[in-house]
Amino acid sequence: MTEIKTAEELNKKYLREGMWPTIFCNGCGNGVVLEYTFWALEELGWDMDKVVFVSGIGCSSRLPGYINADGLHTTHGRALAFATGIKAANPDLNVIVFTGDGDCAGIGGNHFIHAARRNIDMTVIMINNFIYGMTGGQLAPTTPFGSIATTAPYGNIEHPFDICNLAKALGANYVARWTVTHPYQPIKSLKRALQKKGFSLVEFLAPCPTAYGRRNKLGDIKKLWKWYEDHTILLEDYERIMSYGSEEEKEAMKDMFPIGVFQDIDKPGFFEEYQKLVARLMGKNNKKTAETEAVIKK
């Protein structure tokens, strides 16, 4: 079905004309996530007239601007709430949110919690670069313990939180984490996430050489990208070690990020439930049902 074979052809189809070049630095992971998303969309063959991209504020949140589709670049942290309204107004639209770790897990944490809990039909792609990139490298809720940020100049004494575990606990239909350095599983995973009804989250660990890598002495761009390969482990392996491994092996997991699919279930999405409600209340031929009569009389 797909005729597109090269990244060049892909970009020609999906990139918005006139917005090039991007604001991204050399070695930034954001562009790679965009590329993976294009591949996933291309494999799905979706009509781009019916896809809406939503984002908050941050480097990662600039992605919708580069896509040849409707895009809503909103306020810092609030993308998921805006996205909820779009989907409500027209459930036929496919709503995809690009958000950063600060945007999603920091200032937008509560919107994230409730969109996931409600199982709102959307796919959230969170790009976690461990830092507030756009504003120059301040502490994020995902910054690893001990890391340096401009606002944690002596090393971070806070504990980062794991958005995938949070989403899983909230009952999101699909939750996965990958890094930008592994192309194949992420594209497959994105495809699956996009096809899911209800809430899906794909987190990407992505390098920010400018505001994180450099300050934390993670080496040049090549070394930094390698860091992600060295510090990730498949979720199955991670869980096996945490259950059956020796103390030493477990200790070694402290600096590792498990990647893979954290959850894949099929609860009806919010709008499916809502449509059921509407059907129930409107009754046949728009006649009031006994149930609505009872509520009205109250």
> What residues line the site for ligand TPP (CB under 6 A)?
57-60, 76, 100-103, 127, 129, 131-135, 140
d(CA 255, CA 216): 15
- For strands 232-234 and 257-264, give the pairing: parallel
By a kind-dependent CB cut-off of 5 to 8 A, residue 101 interacts, out of ligand SF4, other proteins, Mg ion, none, with Mg ion
If one asks whether residue 100 binds Mg ion (CB under 5 A), the answer comes out as: yes
**Given candidates 101, 106, 124, 199, which one binds Mg ion under the rule CB under 5 A?**
101
H/E segment holding residue 100: strand 94-100
By a kind-dependent CB cut-off of 5 to 8 A, residue 8 interacts, out of Mg ion, ligand SF4, other proteins, none, with none
**Given candidates 143, 147, 156, 210, which one binds ligand SF4 under the rule CB under 6 A?**
210
What backbone phi and psi angles, to 5 degrees, belong to 159? Answer: -100, 130
The contact set with other proteins (CB under 8 A) reads 16, 18-19, 48-50, 52, 54, 64-65, 68-75, 78, 81-93, 110-111, 113-114, 118, 274, 277-278, 281-282, 286, 288, 292, 295-296
**Given candidates 30, 55, 129, 210, which one binds Mg ion under the rule CB under 5 A?**
129
Q: Is the CB of 77 or the CB of 209 nearer to ligand SF4?
A: 209
Burial of residue 266, with CB atoms counted within 10 A of its CB: 0-12 exposed, 13-18 middle, 19 or more buried: exposed
By a kind-dependent CB cut-off of 5 to 8 A, residue 54 interacts, out of ligand SF4, Mg ion, ligand TPP, none, with none
Question: Which residue from 80, 23, 67 is spatially nearest to 41, judged by alpha carbons?
Answer: 67
Residues 6+ apart with CB under 8 A from 211: 129, 131, 132, 133, 136, 137
If one asks whether residue 29 binds Mg ion (CB under 5 A), the answer comes out as: no
Question: Scanning residues 118 to 137, which ones bind ligand SF4 (CB under 6 A)?
Answer: 129, 133-134
Residues 6+ apart with CB under 8 A from 275: 91
By a kind-dependent CB cut-off of 5 to 8 A, residue 1 interacts, out of Mg ion, ligand TPP, other proteins, none, with none
Residues 6+ apart with CB under 8 A from 157: 145
Binding residues for ligand SF4, per CB under 6 A? 24-25, 28, 30, 59, 129, 133-134, 208-211
